[in-house]
Amino acid sequence: MTGHNLQDTVALLTRTPAALDALLRDLPETWTFRNEGENTWSPFDVVGHLIHGERTDWMVRTKIILQFGEDRAFDRFDRWAQVRESQGKSLGELLDEFARLRSGNLDELRALNLQPEDLERRGRHPVLGVVTLSQLLATWAAHDLTHLHQVSRIMAHQYREAVGPWTQFLGVMQCAGHSS
Amino acid sequence: MTGHNLQDTVALLTRTPAALDALLRDLPETWTFRNEGENTWSPFDVVGHLIHGERTDWMVRTKIILQFGEDRAFDRFDRWAQVRESQGKSLGELLDEFARLRSGNLDELRALNLQPEDLERRGRHPVLGVVTLSQLLATWAAHDLTHLHQVSRIMAHQYREAVGPWTQFLGVMQCAGHSS
């Protein structure tokens, strides 16, 4: 459980939908629908991806760990599911859906009343191998942050020429995302 | 003015204080007061830095361009001013102050009723040399984004051990900030 505090995790998870809402709702499409080039995501896509995580990843995996331990590996996560699932929806609808799903998942998490020994329980990730429930829940929070990091980078990318020589002082303009 | 739209800039600048407020207010200090190591900033420091920019940078430089053009270089920006200025204040107070100053600056910007030809006016940056008003205003927005990018990275850094093997899937954990 190094460096993991469940209350801190829940506190952050509670705030992400409101933070993305305050940043993105009704913002011009320059900021919300443009991406960083072919096969990259827009902020709209990122919100769809967060929704898919609420539906298929975090609490689903929590329950697999609690029920099956290492005996049953998690299903793989579909990183492009949101292209299909977000079709025909507005960004406002996605932000509402994300907030609703997150709130329900946090209610469910609190109802589990997890104790320190529960957080040490182990599960099996299809690629990473053995992981703990503590690591899964910490990753849920860090995953919000990696996508907030990504959204701010995607948005900044739209102004990479507009800022002229200032680009050299703006760390976000040098960020390529660190993904494989 | 490549890629710069003043309405898009104002739309983003309007939202940043609320987005940071939704993310950070009343969050446990694990997230808001820790930094990335010696001589780095916490989210608390970043909000102080944004306040200093509202007081001394963006609108001050806008007015220097409109009044003096290239004849008078901007003053240098003090990147550590917030250490002094934020002393004794709570994060909630800083978030309130940032929102108030930003709102006032945007009122002042709108009152200038800038036209496309105004945006082409030139000023002199002490390091970068000749810049346009358009570039300055685009940078104001991109500067918000670089610090949102930074805040999400600082926060994720607190969970770099807690996430265990998932760290390799989280781009933000590989980000070193890209600053000189």
What is the interface pTM, i.e. ipTM, of the complex?
0.96
Establish, for the pair of chains A and B, how many residue pairs have beta carbons separated by less than 8 Å: 198
By C-alpha distance, which of B145, B156, B49 is closest to A175?
B145
pLDDT digits (tens, 9 = 90+) for B71-120: 999 998 888 888 888 999 999 999 999 999 999 999 999 999 999 999 99
**What pLDDT, on the 0 to 100 scale, is given for residue B79?**
81
**What pLDDT, on the 0 to 100 scale, is given for residue B82?**
82
Considering only alpha carbons, which residue of chain A is nearest residue B28? Answer: A8
Site from B148, B160, B168 to mutate, A interface, most A CB atoms within 10 angstroms:
B148
pLDDT digits (tens, 9 = 90+) for B21-44: 999 999 999 999 999 999 999 999
pLDDT at B180 over 60: no
Is residue A19 within 8 Å of B19, Cβ to Cβ? yes
> Distance (Å) from the C-alpha of residue B174 to the closest C-alpha of chain A?
6
Rounded to whole angstroms, the Cα distance separating A71 from B163 reads 21
Which residues of chain B lie closer than 8 angstroms to A143, CB-CB? Answer: 170
Indicate the pLDDT class of residue B176, thresholds 50, 70 and 90.
confident
Q: What is the pTM of this model?
A: 0.96
Which residues of chain A lie closer than 8 angstroms to B43, CB-CB? Answer: none
Considering only alpha carbons, which residue of chain A is nearest residue B178? Answer: A171
| Residue A41 phi, psi (nearest 5) | -105, 150
**What pLDDT, on the 0 to 100 scale, is given for residue B2?**
64
**What pLDDT, on the 0 to 100 scale, is given for residue A179?**
63
Mean pLDDT of chain B: 94
Give residues 29 to 88 of A whose Cβ lies within 8 Å of B: 30-31
**What pLDDT, on the 0 to 100 scale, is given for residue A161?**
96
Structure tokens at A42: 């827009």
Which residues of chain B lie closer than 8 angstroms to A7, CB-CB? Answer: 28
**What pLDDT, on the 0 to 100 scale, is given for residue A1?**
44
| Residue B129 Rama label (left phi>0; alpha psi -120 to 50; beta) | left
Handedness of CA B95, B98, B100, B103 (dihedral sign): negative
> Distance (Å) from the C-alpha of residue A1 to the closest C-alpha of chain B?
6
What single letter denotes the amino acid at residue A5? N
Whether residues B159 and A138 touch (CB distance < 8 A) is answered with yes
Is residue A47 within 8 Å of A98, Cβ to Cβ? yes
Rounded to whole angstroms, the Cα distance separating A60 from A62 reads 5
Which of A8, A131, A156 is the closest to B142 by Cβ?
Answer: A156
Other Cβ atoms within 10 Å of B127 Cβ, number? 11
Give residues 119 to 178 of A whose Cβ lies within 8 Å of B: 125, 128-129, 131-132, 134-136, 138-139, 141-143, 145-146, 148-150, 152-153, 155-156, 158-166, 168, 170-175, 177-178
**What pLDDT, on the 0 to 100 scale, is given for residue B179?**
63
| Residue B52 Rama label (left phi>0; alpha psi -120 to 50; beta) | alpha
Indicate the pLDDT class of residue B69, thresholds 50, 70 and 90.
very high
Rounded to whole angstroms, the Cα distance separating A150 from A153 reads 5
Indicate the pLDDT class of residue B175, thresholds 50, 70 and 90.
confident
Site from B170, B174, B180 to mutate, A interface, most A CB atoms within 10 angstroms:
B170
| Residue A160 Rama label (left phi>0; alpha psi -120 to 50; beta) | alpha
Which residues of chain B lie closer than 8 angstroms to A152, CB-CB? Answer: 145-146, 148-149, 152
| Residue B138 phi, psi (nearest 5) | -60, -35
The tens-digit pLDDT sequence of chain A (180 residues) is 468 999 999 999 999 999 999 999 999 999 999 999 999 999 999 999 999 999 999 999 999 999 999 999 999 888 888 888 899 999 999 999 999 999 999 999 999 999 999 999 999 999 999 999 999 999 999 999 999 999 999 999 999 999 999 999 999 998 877 764
Considering only alpha carbons, which residue of chain B is nearest residue A120? Answer: B162
Which of A4, A152, A162 is the closest to B152 by Cβ?
Answer: A152
